[in-house]
Amino acid sequence: MTDRSAKIETLGNALFEATESRKPIAPIREQLEDTTLNDAYAIQTVQLNRHLAAGRKLAGHKIGLTSFAMQKQLGVDSPDFGFFLDNMVYEAGATVPTSGFIAPKVEPELAFKLSKDLTGPDVTVADVLEATEAVYPAIEIIDSRVEDWNIKLVDTVADNASCGAIVLGAEPIAVPFEKLTEVPCTLRINGEEKDSGTGRDVMGNPAEPLAWLANVLSEQGVSLKAGQFVLTGSFTGALPVVSGEKITADYGDLGSLEITFG
């Protein structure tokens, strides 16, 4: 193992421990000189392997940085991705313990449940929709194991794309797949509207990031698997939350999804 490989292993373990202890660490870019995107994903993989070795199961994937505003903020021109495990998934209506996070924020999204494996390269939106069993309302709780959300692209990628937990609706959204771009969503905290968007705000089509992910993973010899969920990015900006707040992702006539932070 080279010195750099050893450092990647050390940083992956440090982020794993930060996830368990809720004690953040310094930015990865300050701990690994000239951190590359490949380094960051390798650090993320160290954590995934630790979780799997501990008996947790991979439940799906999340895609971040799917809005042009967020890409501009971090100075990038493409999304990033992370994973979520079976113990990171909450049901609609759940009370989510704030103590399980460091500095949580919420994002309203859609979650695609795959009916069959999806393997790149050259996956298109049409391929994604053909491989999709259903689309569910979802809330992603993002969190940062990096101190004070002091992140650049390599920091959030290394930190599992800042994934904290996932909330899945009980029932799919009743909308034809070809109209996902028109799905509206308003994010409310304690009943007060904070932000809103539509499916078009997610790379023009919420299925587009999923096609991107399938193609990127194929470069590593990895396929998306039937039965997995994939969250494809936020309709709005991310909003910080504290204990006692009720979060509502309101999809208009298509229903809503609520959780409370306890």
- Out of 14-18, 71-75, 206-210, least confident range: 71-75
Specify if 10 maps to a domain.
no
Q: Which residues contact 3 (CB under 8 A, 6 or more apart)?
A: none
- Round to whole Å and give the CA distance between 189 and 73: 24
Indicate the pLDDT class of residue 69, thresholds 50, 70 and 90.
confident
- Out of 26-30, 48-52, 65-69, least confident range: 65-69
- At 59 the pLDDT is 97
Number of domains present in the structure of the chain? 1
Specify if 42 maps to a domain.
no
Specify if 34 maps to a domain.
no
Res. 9: pLDDT tops 80 = yes
How deeply is 122 buried, as exposed, middle or buried, from its count of CB atoms within 10 A (0-12, 13-18, 19+)?
A: exposed
- At 172 the pLDDT is 98
- The mean pLDDT value of the chain amounts to 96
Specify if 51 maps to a domain.
no
**pLDDT tens, position by position, 30-39:** 999 999 999 9
Res. 62: pLDDT tops 80 = yes
How deeply is 211 buried, as exposed, middle or buried, from its count of CB atoms within 10 A (0-12, 13-18, 19+)?
A: buried
Indicate the pLDDT class of residue 70, thresholds 50, 70 and 90.
confident
Q: Is pLDDT larger for residue 167 or for residue 1?
A: 167
Segments forming the whole domain that contains residue 141: 58-261
Nearest-CA neighbor of 165 among 217, 107, 236, 214?
A: 107
Residues 233-262: what's their mean pLDDT? Answer: 97
**pLDDT tens, position by position, 152-209:** 999 999 999 999 999 999 999 999 999 999 999 999 999 999 999 999 999 999 999 9
How are beta strands 89-91 and 163-168 bridged, if at all? parallel
Specify if 146 maps to a domain.
yes
Res. 78: pLDDT tops 90 = no
Specify if 7 maps to a domain.
no
Specify if 18 maps to a domain.
no
Question: Sign of the CA dihedral 27, 30, 33, 34?
Answer: positive
CATH number at residue 245: 3.90.850.10
Specify if 26 maps to a domain.
no
Q: What percentage of the chain carries pLDDT values higher than 90?
A: 94
- At 196 the pLDDT is 96
Bond prior to 176 in cis (omega within 30° of 0):
no
Indicate the pLDDT class of residue 118, thresholds 50, 70 and 90.
very high
- Out of 67-71, 112-116, 177-181, 202-206, least confident range: 67-71
